[in-house]
Homo-oligomer: A and B are copies of this chain.
């Protein structure tokens, strides 16, 4: 591995707790503030601390050709950094990696600078890191599409005829993308039972999760000029965990013929730290074989995805601790991120810095890897058994869902942290 920032032998002068998702090889970006009156700014998670990149910028420590003299980190979102492109991202990463490393005295030996630039993570408030222009949700797990298709149309017609040719997706709602920790209220809406003549209004009774990941677009493209599949990875800044909340009963009634709308627009939760593609590089791997071969504009050779272990836990109000209910992996996805981005822009659709493209529910081949309660409970027919004798088909009020993501290889490990959310009862 030629990039020294991912060298597994690299050590920070900071003490990184065992099992931290944020060793010096990770360096994910977020947006934080210490008090509600302080301006939000860009930081990097390192162990149990946050490195204040704005403080480094103010001291002109980003002095490379792409960053010198620019105001990129003293900002309330990552969008300006995302817009700069990969050369600038790598310059920033190399600088931060160096400043945090054990062998570099500049920050290590300057108590004043350390006091200004390193803040315990427990003392900061994390904010939504990106101003998301457009949010798109793909449907790129073959196993998920097959599971859902089997439930609704039977095993013989499970996969739609377009699915193996088109990275199917729909436009989502960007205003309601919220951060981990923000409680989500059970939505109200129209539903219709099969045994009733008309629709009724009330709280959703089939509130579900979707285990997803999402990536943020970097520089983007001009309207009318697609991003070729071979150039697409360069345009991706980094990734987060995504819980794409879904009201299955609202969805079932509303979605024909234009797709899910209210069933998805009440909230989408993301993890606060954006892990860059540079940090993920050591965990690169091949995706599933694609047969039939995609059309040329979607052909992508080599290791174009990443080995990211994903887990989901559920804790009801009665449970003393969370119980893992899902174990999946990002590598199961049939369509990779480069293909998603190339497809999204093939019509000329312009992508902007900060656009969020999510994967769709990440299910795998095993039962344990089903990425939604809809699949886990097989549309409510097979309740999930929990410690203490409780069961769940869909979510109850007070339930807490936590998703985590880890990359592990040899002795090294980096993590995404978590996206954790509690369900509030509907408005009375």
How many monomers of this chain does the complex have? 2
Query: Is B173 a contact partner of A170 (Cβ separation < 8 A)?
Result: no
Contact B190 A265 (CB under 8 A): no
| Bound Cα distance A424, B133 (Å) | 26
Determine if B346 and A175 form an interchain contact, defined as CB atoms under 8 angstroms apart.
no
| A227 nearest CB across to chain B (Å) | 13
Decide if A302 is an interface residue (CB 8 Å cutoff): no
CB-based contact A223/B262 at 8 Å: no
Which chain B positions have C-beta within 8 A of A258? 139, 168-170, 255, 259-260
A72 proximal to B (CB < 8 A)? no
With both chains docked as a complex, state the minimum distance between the C-beta of A312 and any C-beta of chain B, in angstroms.
Answer: 22
Question: Could you say which residues of chain B place their CB within 8 Å of the CB of A355?
Answer: 175
- Whether B175 pairs with A134 at a CB distance below 8 angstroms is yes
Give Cα A308–Cα B138 distance, bound, in whole angstroms: 38
Is B189 a contact partner of A347 (Cβ separation < 8 A)?
yes
- Cβ contacts under 8 Å, A190 to chain B: 165-166, 295
Query: Which stretch of A6-14, A246-254, A279-287 is in the interface?
Result: A246-254
Q: How large is the interface on A (under 10, 10 to 19, 20 to 34, 35 or more residues)?
A: 35 or more
Q: Contacts of A199 on B, CB cut-off 8 Å?
A: 162, 165-166, 295
- CB of B169 within 8 A of CB of A171, answer no
In the assembled complex, 29 residue pairs joining A and B whose CB atoms fall closer than 8 Å, in A order, are: A134-B174, A134-B175, A162-B253, A162-B256, A165-B199, A168-B254, A168-B257, A168-B261, A170-B171, A170-B259, A171-B171, A171-B173, A171-B261, A173-B349, A175-B349, A175-B355, A185-B224, A188-B348, A198-B292, A199-B295, A201-B295, A225-B427, A226-B427, A247-B347, A255-B257, A258-B259, A262-B346, A266-B348, A348-B427
In the complex, are the beta carbons of A250 and B175 less than 8 A apart? no
Do B170 and A262 touch across chains, with their CB atoms under 8 A apart? no
A1 at the interface (CB under 8 A from B): no
Interface residue A172 (Cβ < 8 Å from any Cβ of B): yes
